[in-house]
Amino acid sequence: MKNLNIRKLILVFCFMAMGGMTTLLQAQSGANKGYQLTVQLNAYQGQTLYLAYHFGKIKALADSTQVQADGKAVFKGANPLTGGIYIVVSPKKEFLFEMLVDREQWFTVSADTAQLSRLKFTGSTDNTDFQAYTDFVQSRGKAINGLQQQLSGVKTAADSASIQQKMTSLNGEIQQYRTDFIRKNPDAFLSTLFAALQEPVVPPAAQHPKGVYDQTYAYHYFKDHYWDGINLYDERLLRTPFFESRVEKYFRNLVSPEPDSIKKEIDWFLLMSRSNREMYKFLLTQFVQKYINPEYMGQDAVFVHLFEKYINEKPDVDWFTAQYRKYMTDRAYSLMANLIGNPAWDLNMTDSTGKLSPLYEVKAPYVVVCFWDPTCGHCKEMVPKLDSMYQAKWKKQGIKIYGVMTEGGKDNWLKFIRENKLKDWVHVYQTEQQRTAEQQSGQPGYRQLYDVYQTPVLYLLDDQKRIIAKKLTYEQMDQLITVKQQQKPANQ
């Protein structure tokens, strides 16, 4: 399958037909296998016409064919197309129009060149209903646009309120159209799409507990009903422009960002979609890509959960390339060693005087572990600022800094320490002999154990060397330490 890069036009799917070209899809009566979509155009003779479909946020190529001298172009195949929203695309990669493809895959649609919005379908109930809805939305949309223009010129609050009420009423008619259609045609593909577009309507305040608006109740009601009428095993939803965004919105706005909450929600999604391989594949891949390098600290635990429960040694998860599977495996084993709340691995390294100085021998209420490189530009800027924070504030609080040189050479390291007067740190590095012994024993290195593949990297450990935070800035680290100290009982 090839991805179709369509940049000429960006379509926001709202079930409103596009304008521009004459088209005719001719049905072949009596056919019950495969698909055959015959497009009659008044342009593009001798050029290539494309049939694409939505797949989340991308557009994918389903078929292509040449437009004949008489303007006819035939898309056909021995196997039926997977249901979804398909797009006829011009040789210039412009969207011409959308159509619904489901059980009926031999159908006709005709239009006038100047009024592509007036498509007329024959032999496709889904598209006939789609066109009727489009006509309805266009009429209401025209009225709403007129009211919006009036709104800009009103002078009184009463007139403004009257216009707003009319606009709300027209939008309500569109929502009611969808609701009525779903009730009358529960098995129609268009009903599936309408359900995926609608969001829950929170009951009025009078119906909340105690008869007054309750924000917590409203939140839970909206969340609990967010997926009403939507089947997560329905593969056709993948071939729409709004399903992926709906999933993203759910996790962004309605799921608590704590790893345990996210894991619980993901487990539900994957359980509900398990009966359809393509939906399961899509969701699992989306979750992996989101949490393998998460936006927020601590959410890497979600990826570890995904790897252990759904990927590692699972023969049915066979769509990842060997290279990406290795990357996931290496990433998972690296993250397993440094999850928030886990004990940090001991670092048995050599200090700047040549003596062993293990991490676990550093006694302090908090230890900031700083992995840095004296030749790294970012480190050169950050490390002196980190030391200023330490000298001005943290040192008085008994906090220690355990600084680990990752690269740059011992001479550069000692020179930087001396020139920037990095006093009272525990400065350590790994000697060649230590690195060789580690490799020969088969033990993982500190880079894997602490997920250090760039510098600088900061970790915050408590007095028991448990990981409190990682990969924060020194300013964020200071804010977190302040919060943690305020939370401690007064006698500690």
What is the distance, to the nearest Å, from the Cα of residue 138 to the centroid of all Cα atoms in its chain?
A: 32
Same domain, 260 and 327: yes
Instruction: Give the mean pLDDT of 47-57.
Output: 93
Domain of 417, CATH number, reads 3.40.30.10
Q: Is residue 6 pLDDT above 70, yes or no?
A: no
Same domain, 380 and 293: no
Question: For residue 151, what pLDDT band results from cuts at 50, 70 and 90?
Answer: confident
Contacts of 209 (CB under 8 A, 6+ apart): 217
46, 356, 373 from 431: Cα distances, Å? 70, 10, 15
237, 265, 291 from 259: Cα distances, Å? 27, 10, 10
Same domain, 280 and 233: yes
pLDDT tens digits, one per residue of 406-445: 999 999 999 999 999 999 999 999 999 999 999 999 889 9
Cα(247)–Cα(250) distance, rounded to whole angstroms? 5
Domain of 42, CATH number, reads 2.60.40
Contacts of 353 (CB under 8 A, 6+ apart): none
Question: How much is the pLDDT for 490?
Answer: 56
Cα(345)–Cα(459) distance, rounded to whole angstroms? 12
Contacts of 42 (CB under 8 A, 6+ apart): 21, 22, 71, 113
Cα(315)–Cα(401) distance, rounded to whole angstroms? 45
Backbone angles phi, psi at 101, to 5 degrees: -125, 125
Two structure tokens written together for 404:
């680990």
CB distance 129 to 187 below 8 Å: no
Torsion of CA 319, 322, 324, 330, to 10 degrees: 130
Q: Is residue 17 part of a domain?
A: no
What is the distance, to the nearest Å, from the Cα of residue 378 to the centroid of all Cα atoms in its chain?
A: 29
CB environment 146-178: b (16+ within 10 A), e (fewer): ebeeeeeeeeeeeeeeebeebbeebeeebeebb
Cα(429)–Cα(412) distance, rounded to whole angstroms? 12
pLDDT tens digits, one per residue of 64-79: 999 999 888 889 999 9
Q: Is residue 492 pLDDT above 90, yes or no?
A: no
Q: Is residue 96 part of a domain?
A: yes
Instruction: Give the mean pLDDT of 266-274.
Output: 97
Q: Model pTM?
A: 0.83
Two structure tokens written together for 313:
């040694």
Burial tier of 52 (Cβ tally within 10 Å: 0-12, 13-18, 19+): buried
Cα(422)–Cα(184) distance, rounded to whole angstroms? 75
Which residue from 365, 335, 362 is spatially nearest to 348, judged by alpha carbons? 362
Same domain, 50 and 110: yes
Q: Is residue 344 part of a domain?
A: no
Question: For residue 112, what pLDDT band results from cuts at 50, 70 and 90?
Answer: low
Instruction: Give the mean pLDDT of 266-288.
Output: 97
Cα(211)–Cα(101) distance, rounded to whole angstroms? 46
Q: Is residue 44 pLDDT above 80, yes or no?
A: yes
Q: Indicate the residue among 313, 336, 359 that finishes a domain.
A: 336
| CA atoms within 13 Å, Cβ hemisphere of 40 | 12
Two structure tokens written together for 132:
């009727």
Cα(214)–Cα(204) distance, rounded to whole angstroms? 10
Same domain, 234 and 361: no
pLDDT tens digits, one per residue of 173-230: 999 999 999 999 999 999 999 999 989 999 999 999 999 999 999 999 999 999 999 9
Burial tier of 283 (Cβ tally within 10 Å: 0-12, 13-18, 19+): buried
Question: How much is the pLDDT for 474?
Answer: 94
Contacts of 300 (CB under 8 A, 6+ apart): 291, 292, 293, 294, 335, 339
Which residue from 298, 225, 318 is spatially nearest to 256, judged by alpha carbons? 298
Q: Give the residue numbers spanning the domain of 321.
A: 212-336
Cα(239)–Cα(242) distance, rounded to whole angstroms? 9
Looking up tokens 């049939």 gives: 51
Same domain, 187 and 278: no
Two structure tokens written together for 20:
């521009």
What is the distance, to the nearest Å, from the Cα of residue 308 to the centroid of all Cα atoms in its chain?
A: 21
Q: Based on the structure, what is the number of domains in the chain?
A: 4
Dihedral angle sign, alpha carbons of residues 189, 190, 191, 193:
positive
Instruction: Give the mean pLDDT of 456-485.
Output: 95
Same domain, 107 and 232: no
Cα(139)–Cα(73) distance, rounded to whole angstroms? 32
Question: How much is the pLDDT for 491?
Answer: 53
Same domain, 175 and 262: no
Q: Indicate the residue among 309, 336, 363 that finishes a domain.
A: 336
In terms of DSSP H, where are the helices of 120-214?
125-151, 157-184, 189-197
Q: Indicate the residue among 336, 361, 390 that finishes a domain.
A: 336
Provide, rounded to the nearest whole percent, the portion of the chain with pLDDT above 90: 74
Looking at residue 134, what DSSP letter applies? H
Same domain, 281 and 226: yes
Same domain, 354 and 331: no
Cα(331)–Cα(338) distance, rounded to whole angstroms? 11
Secondary structure element (H or E) that encloses residue 59, with its range? strand 58-66
